[in-house]
A and B are shown apart, each in its own frame.
Chain A
Amino acid sequence: MARAITNERKIINTVAAWGIGLLIFFPILWTILTSFKTEAQAINDPPLFLFFDWTLENYAVVQERSNYGRFLWNSIFIAGGSTLLGVIIAIPAAWSMAFVPSKRTKDILLWMLSTKMLPAVGVLYPIYLLFIQFGLLDSILGLTIVLMLINLPIMVWMLYTYFREIPGEILEAARMDGATLRSEILYVLTPMAIPGIASTLLLNFILAWNEAFWTLNLTAAQAAPLTAFIASYSSPEGLFYAKLSAASTMAILPILILGWFSQKQLVRGLTFGAVK
């Protein structure tokens, strides 16, 4: 039985939690608000909270000056491409480990995890050399491949934990009824696995979108995604807070919305099923 909670206690909880929640969220909120100010209002002392002349001008300036659209497309292509490609490779691998486990399955899973822990900076130059060799430097294809490889272990792990929850008896029943391996995957497994696959896609899309080592080091002008676009604001130039805020808002808003849908999967995906 749940303990009786006094209303007073609930009010205190609510106030405390909302206060802290808003404090943590404040930098994001402030960035979004600043993006609608003029540059002069953005640095006004005292800071203007809500009562300023709301303007969309910054968004227009950012788009015009740095061709935001192209960076956005690069981000979408790279994050989307690497995630799709990765899932296509990860599904069969996770399927086979979940349903036809062998003595080595555990070792393989842990080994895959270990590749994720390789510090990127340790292999920066070799990757750089290989990219030059294969003409992949500053290309969408090159980044797509690298981000796919970085997130592949997480994808396999997530899918594995989802697939493992599918009862094996159902597969056996399908086999008894004469289902071939192909139709077993297509008609029995896939429908049951779709929620897990969707969550995997979502979380890895977010991770790829926000990746900021390889995207900064392997791109220049052509394939640079939003992470690199934002980094180009790191050298100050006159008044630029409002424009910086507008650019930042555009870079994080789509992913913030996706992220809110994937909170639950986040735990599973990033702890490799170790916290439930």
Chain B
Amino acid sequence: MATQNSRSAARLMLAPAVILLLGWMLVPLTMTLWFSFRKYLPLRGGDQGWVGFDNYVRFVSSSSFWPSVQTTLIIVGGVLVITVVFGILLALLLDQPMWGQGIVRILVIAPFFVMPTVSALVWKNIFMDPVNGLFAHLWKFFGATPIEWLSQASVQSIIMIVSWQWLPFATLILLTAVQSLDGEQLEASEMDGAKPLQRFGYIILPHLARAITIVVLIQTIFLLSIFAEIFVTTGGAFGTKTLSYLIFQRVLESQNIGLGSAGGIYAVILANIVAIFLMRIVGKNLDA
């Protein structure tokens, strides 16, 4: 077993990663915390001293706060529902015997590898543009008036773009889980006369529960902070301002560092609540 010698060597090898991550976490976070209690406007008088919890109160009572929370919840919730539901269906389909399975998998996974700025711009212009976009052509072909996607249905459009990016991730993870399903159990249930819907509800879905939870948690963490998709398409206009985008605007556009930092602390707390649940699951798995 490990000797005293190898233990201290191990500690030494672990140190650089731990120290770097500790610094990466603590230094900026402490600074954000510090700024959040100060009136700090770099372009209008600089750092003007302590204001206590003023920024926290102001951030929450600003007229854009609740709409941004609502937008965040709608976008995150919408994308989660779409990716999980279609992810399950797609995973079950891809698990069936077929020709060219490998190629279909590649087609399905591809959007995940497209950089966010590219997918946002391609969707915005080539598909959703109300004059020259492909959807506009399609609508006109059927005699309908083209929709101005990113202004009339802005939140739905962003949900669509982001879902397209994350569906591959959900599908891939759910497919991995589906493939580990015991085929004999399914067969036995079939012989006992279970209908497809019953097999899905009583065997497949419970088996997928863990994978679904993980997809939901990981995606939530990433979706809470989507940035490029909004930055490039609407720039936060037309009701697409999420909480993290609001913070971004407070910090960079209005240069109100105190207010933005207070918002940042809220975001950190929110992300941590989600993270705790994820860590529970991952942690349990570590023991096994």
Contacts and interface: CB of A to CB of B under 8 A. Distances in A.
Interface of A is mostly: helix
Interface of B is mostly: helix
A21 B134 contact: no
B271 A24 contact: no
Contacts of B251: 121, 124-125
Interface string B240-264: 0000110110011000010011001
Interface stretch (B49-57, B59-67, B151-159, B210-218): B210-218
Nearest to A5: B97
Contact of A251 (B9, B105, B118, B210): B118
B275 interface: yes
A47 B227 CA distance: 31
Interface in B93-111: 93-94, 96-101, 103-111
Contacts of A267: 172-173, 176
B45 interface: no
A158 to B, nearest CB: 13
Contacts of B169: 266, 270
Nearest to A258: B113
A28 interface: yes
B195 interface: no
Given A47-B137, A259-B110, A152 B279 contact: no
B279 A113 contact: yes
Nearest to A262: B113
B24 A149 contact: yes
B257 to A, nearest CB: 5
Given A102-B7, A126-B32, A275-B211, A227 B93 contact: no
Interface in A30-44: 30-31, 34, 43
- Residue from A123, A130, A226, A228 with most neighbouring chain B CB atoms (10 Å): A123
Contact of A95 (B13, B21, B25, B265): B13
A130 B31 CA distance: 10
B82 interface: no
Interface residues of B, number: 107
Contact of B9 (A17, A22, A156, A181): A181
- Residue from A118, A122, A271 with most neighbouring chain B CB atoms (10 Å): A122
A141 interface: no
A217 B167 CA distance: 27
Given A31-B126, A96-B13, A149-B21, A46 B114 contact: no
A61 to B, nearest CB: 17
B145 interface: no
A25 B247 contact: no
A63 interface: no
A230 B115 contact: yes
A276 interface: yes
Contacts of A206: 113
Interface residues of A, number: 97
Contacts of A233: 121
Given A2-B183, A28-B111, A118-B25, A21 B104 contact: yes
Interface of A: 2-3, 5, 9-10, 13-14, 16-18, 20-22, 24-25, 27-28, 30-31, 34, 43, 45-47, 89-90, 92-93, 95-97, 99-100, 102, 106, 108-110, 112-115, 117-127, 129-130, 149, 152-153, 156, 181, 206, 209-210, 212-213, 216-217, 226-228, 230-231, 233-234, 236, 240-241, 244-245, 248, 251-252, 255-256, 258-260, 263, 266-267, 270-276
Interface of B: 2, 6-7, 9-11, 13-14, 16-18, 20-21, 24-25, 27-29, 31-32, 35, 90, 93-94, 96-101, 103-119, 121-127, 132, 134, 137, 140-141, 164, 167-169, 172-173, 176-177, 180, 183, 187, 210-211, 214, 218, 221, 224-225, 227-228, 231-232, 244-245, 247-248, 251-252, 257, 260-261, 264-265, 267-268, 270-272, 274-275, 278-279, 281-283, 285-287
25 contacts: A14-B98, A24-B164, A25-B108, A27-B126, A30-B126, A31-B126, A47-B134, A93-B14, A108-B18, A110-B286, A125-B264, A127-B28, A152-B17, A181-B6, A210-B114, A227-B116, A230-B115, A233-B121, A234-B124, A240-B125, A241-B125, A245-B122, A251-B115, A255-B113, A276-B176
For the complex of A and B, the 10 pairs showing the least CB-CB separation, nearest first, are A92-B13, A122-B264, A259-B113, A96-B10, A123-B28, A126-B31, A21-B107, A100-B10, A93-B17, A212-B228
